[in-house]
């Protein structure tokens, strides 16, 4: 597991109950990297992912944002099993630009994309956000990639999701499903902006609400 902190080592990490780097680094099989990148949000995101991938040696690599929650046991194995058929598997896709697999949670074939020089950097012609280049690489070759059913892409799913999971009705998040229609992954979106107090849209789950919900869920799983 690889964490990349873009704060330059000047602020404490806030990951669940981890309040400082000492605690985080003590977790087995965790590699921690501190950079001094202070660019725009997208640039910082891409930079962290490019730093992290340099340490990856496994055949498949999973990347995610810091505002996600694995909601069911077996969530990563589920995505990993899709790699038998695909070079890229994601929990959701973007609804705009090239409708790419969203970097908030996807797994990719490291060797394939390294050989084809796919990058996490945003690009133009066509416009690509962070991580979209992986999907674009496959689109150019007319190769498919897997995306879970998700409320972000199909809002109509929310009715059945909230009936089966009433506790999720109060949470605004992308709710991603497995092949049996069970919620396995959540992405609240704009996590860093919310944490910094810069998010202005109303009727959205706040950073504190997300933390409270996530902490309660994780404590109940113990």
Give me the DSSP letters along the chain.
Answer: -EEEETTTT-S---BTTB-SHHHHHTSTT-EEEE------HHHHHHHHHHHHHTT--SSEEEEE-SSEEE-STTHHHHHHHGGGT-SEEES-B-SSTT-PBPTTEEEEEHHHHHHTT--SS-BTTTTB-TTHHHHHHHHHTT---EE--BTTT-TTHHHHHHHH-GGGTT--SEEEE-TTS-EEEEE-S-HHHHHTT----SSS--HHHHHHHHHHHHHHH-
Q: How far is CA 83 from the centre of its chain?
A: 17
Paired tokens of 211: 């933390």
Q: Whats the size of the chain, residue-wise?
A: 222
pLDDT digits (tens, 9 = 90+) for 82-109: 999 999 999 999 999 999 999 999 999 9
In the prediction, which pLDDT does 86 show? Answer: 98
* pLDDT given at position 62: 97
**Could you tell me what percent of the chain has a pLDDT over 70?**
86
Task: Please check the confidence at residue 43 and state whether its pLDDT lies above 70.
Answer: yes
**Mean pLDDT, the chain, integer:** 88
Q: Is the pLDDT of residue 34 over 90?
A: no
- Burial class from Cβ neighbours inside 10 Å (0-12, 13-18, 19+) for residue 96 reads exposed
pLDDT at residue 26, as a whole number: 65
Quickly state the pLDDT bin for 13 (edges 50, 70, 90). very low
pLDDT at 139: 98
pLDDT value for 201: 85
Mean pLDDT in residue range 109-115: 98
Res. 42 pLDDT band, cuts 50 70 90: confident
Closest by CA position to 138, among listed 186, 175, 88: 88
Phi, psi of 105 (to 5 degrees): 180, 90
Say how far apart CA 4 and CA 137 lie, in whole Å.
25
pLDDT reading at 161 higher than 60: yes
The yes-or-no verdict on residue 46 having pLDDT over 60 is: yes
Q: How confident is the model at residue 33 (pLDDT cuts 50, 70, 90)?
A: confident
pLDDT over 60 at 53, yes or no: yes
- What local confidence, expressed as pLDDT, does residue 22 receive? 57
């Amino acid at each position: 597991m690889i964490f990349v902190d873009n704060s330059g080592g000047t602020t404490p990490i806030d990951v669940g109950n981890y309040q400082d780097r000492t605690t985080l680094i003590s977790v087995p099989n965790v590699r921690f990297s501190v950079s001094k990148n202070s660019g725009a949000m997208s640039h910082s995101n891409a930079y962290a992912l490019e730093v992290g991938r340099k340490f990856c040696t496994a055949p498949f690599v999973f990347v995610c944002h810091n505002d996600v929650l694995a909601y069911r046991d077996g969530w990563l194995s589920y995505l990993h099993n899709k790699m038998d058929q695909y070079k890229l598997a994601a929990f959701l896709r973007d609804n705009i630009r090239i409708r790419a697999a969203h970097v908030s949670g996807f797994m990719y074939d490291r060797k394939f994309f390294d050989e084809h020089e796919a990058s996490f950097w945003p690009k133009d012609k066509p416009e690509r956000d962070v991580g979209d280049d992986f999907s674009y690489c496959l689109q150019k070759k007319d190769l498919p990639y897997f995306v879970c059913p998700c409320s972000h892409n199909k809002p109509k799913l929310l009715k059945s999701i909230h009936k089966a999971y009433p506790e999720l009705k109060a949470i605004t998040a992308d709710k991603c499903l497995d092949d049996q229609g069970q919620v396995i992954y959540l992405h609240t979106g704009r996590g860093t902006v919310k944490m910094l107090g810069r998010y202005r849209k109303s009727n959205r789950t706040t950073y504190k609400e997300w933390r409270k919900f996530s902490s309660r869920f994780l404590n109940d799983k113990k």
